[in-house]
Amino acid sequence: MAHNRLTQLLDQYTSGYSLAQSFYTDPLIFEADWEHIWKKYWLFVGSTAEIPKPGNYFTYQAHHDSVIIIRGDQGEVHALYNTCRHRGSLVCLEERGHTSKLMCPYHQWVYNKDGSLFKARLMPGDFDKSAYGLHPVQVRVVEGLIFISLSSNPPDFDKVVQDFAPFVKPYKLDQAKVAYRKRYELRTNWKLIAENFRECYHCGPAHPEYCRAVIGANLTESAAQVLPERQQAWERKGLSVKGIDFENDSFHFAVRYPLRPGVESYSTNGKAVAIPMGDHTDFDAGVLGLVCYPNFWMDAVSDYVWTMRITATSASQCLVDLTWLVDSQAVEGQDYTIERLTDFWRITGEQDWKLCENNFKGIESSHYGPGPYAPVEADVAKFVDWYIDRLREGVSTAVAF
């Protein structure tokens, strides 16, 4: 029944138009999104800068699965299902912390950082500890960015590593400093955020600060004239400039674009808000934008990196976790202040959250129906096509969901 309904909805989809209401509001579709996309693809969880030392960990709630991400003794990153192999209790109850061993709070089974079972008190002498380690989660680290997949057979990630690594390397994210984190709980569907971040049709009216910083964001001018000269300058500095396009059979892209002349950073007055980050020696790197669907966005300027992790928690809700990273040597109060560092994205992000929440409310109307995308929204149409194709792929290989 559910399977038929989904198939029917997918059959009714018209490319070039926004999705039917159910795709945004129906709990059944939310489950399908998790089944065919979120549990299959690669999810950004955070950066290695958040767990600088062995034993540092954080947890990530991915629908029903809590995952522990912990730094091992050799600096490696482990991702483990947070469910005790005894009777299933959560092992880590905290969202982040530090521990030399992971101890289940229920009957105190103790696990090593790599998930292997270290001690199981009062179990018989012939109990085989090696068979009861925490289940591993697939994990990949790209120059300090940590991605996990809940699938045992996830899509190939090598291309993402290959494409992202040269762009991210100069920021030296592994040694970066987490300057600030902020969480938003939004009443919207995750796809409306993904769509919002794929067009600048709304930027002129909605984002005065963003338009002051980025050439072409208001769609009344173009960066094409300055781009070749900027790209040559970036190349001379050894920065990657060749964008990675989003294709229907991929799930990521990368782009570097210029700020307006004289604008040094994503900040409310155009001036730098921290010291140059990693290998950068000036404030002339433009903006590096990375996206990996379904949940990772990153914008990096010469002096800071901003990451956005989205988590779909229901059809009508999602969590947005923002993190600002600065150079390891940057000193708060001296080289940066939280207010100046975070102003730009707090203001711009909050403008977007409002748009996305209003979009969702309007879509709940009895009179909502798919509307046509403008030519400047071609990338949104591409994302929505990609999304529909992933569900189609999923239902064609699943018996039912």
Residue closer to ligand FES, measured from CB, 63 or 107: 107
> Contact 322/349 with Cβ under 8 angstroms?
yes
For the CB of residue 359, give the shortest distance to ligand FES in the complex, in Å: 43
Q: Dihedral, CA atoms, 213, 214, 215, 217, nearest 10 degrees?
A: -120
DSSP conformation class of 184: E
Span near ligand FES by CB under 6 A; candidates 86-94, 303-311, 360-368, 393-401: 86-94
For residue 215, give Cα distances in angstroms to 148, 198, 204, 293.
Answer: 35, 16, 11, 26
Binding of ligand FES by 86 (CB under 6 A): yes
Return the sign of the alpha-carbon dihedral for residues 351, 352, 355, 361.
negative
Q: Specify the stretch interacting with ligand FES by CB under 6 A; choose among 82-90, 165-173, 313-321, 365-373.
A: 82-90
| Footprint (CB under 5 A) of Fe ion, residues 347-366 | 352
How far is CA 296 from its chain centroid? 2
Q: Which of ligand FES, Fe ion, none sits in contact with 89, Cβ below 5 to 8 A by type?
A: ligand FES
- Contact with ligand FES (CB under 6 A): which of 89, 138, 175, 268? 89
What gap in Å lies between CA 130 and CA 260, rounded to an integer? 58
239 binds, among ligand FES, Fe ion, none (CB under 5 to 8 A by kind): none
The count of residues interacting with ligand FES (CB under 6 A) is 10
Does residue number 107 form part of the binding site for ligand FES (CB under 6 A)?
yes
Residues 198 and 382: their CA atoms lie apart, in Å, by 9
Q: Does residue 129 interact with ligand FES by CB under 6 A?
A: no
Please give the structure tokens belonging to residue 4: 């038929």
CB burial readout 219-239, b (16+ within 10 A) else e:
eeeebeeebeebbeebeeeeb
Q: How far apart are CB 119 and ligand FES at their closest, in Å? A: 10
> Counting contacts by CB under 6 A, is residue 127 touching ligand FES?
no
For residue 89, the minimal CB distance to ligand FES (Å) is 4
Q: Minimum distance between the CB of residue 55 and ligand FES, rounded to whole angstroms?
A: 20
Radius of gyration of the chain (CA): 22
Least distance in angstroms from the C-beta of 206 to Fe ion? 6
Residue 352: contacted member of ligand FES, Fe ion, none (CB under 5 to 8 Å, by partner type)? Fe ion
Provide the pairing of β-strand 296-300 with 117-119.
unpaired
Question: What is the rounded distance in angstroms from the CA atom of residue 59 to the CA atom of residue 57?
Answer: 7
Query: How many other CB atoms are there within 10 angstroms of residue 272's CB atom?
Result: 20
CB proximity list for 155: less than 8 A, separation 6 or greater: 40, 41, 42, 251
Torsional class of 262: left (φ above 0), alpha (ψ -120 to 50), beta (otherwise)? left
Question: Rule CB under 6 A: is residue 104 a binding residue for ligand FES?
Answer: yes
Tell me which of 12, 16, 87, 245 binds ligand FES, using CB under 6 A: 87
Rule CB under 6 A: choose which of 30, 58, 60, 109 binds ligand FES: 109
Residue 87's binding partner out of ligand FES, Fe ion, none, with CB under 5 to 8 Å set by partner kind = ligand FES
Q: Is 66 near ligand FES (CB under 6 A)?
A: no
CB of 137 to ligand FES, least distance (A): 18
Query: For binding to ligand FES (CB under 6 A), which residues are involved?
Result: 84, 86-89, 104, 106-109
Query: For binding to Fe ion (CB under 5 A), which residues are involved?
Result: 352
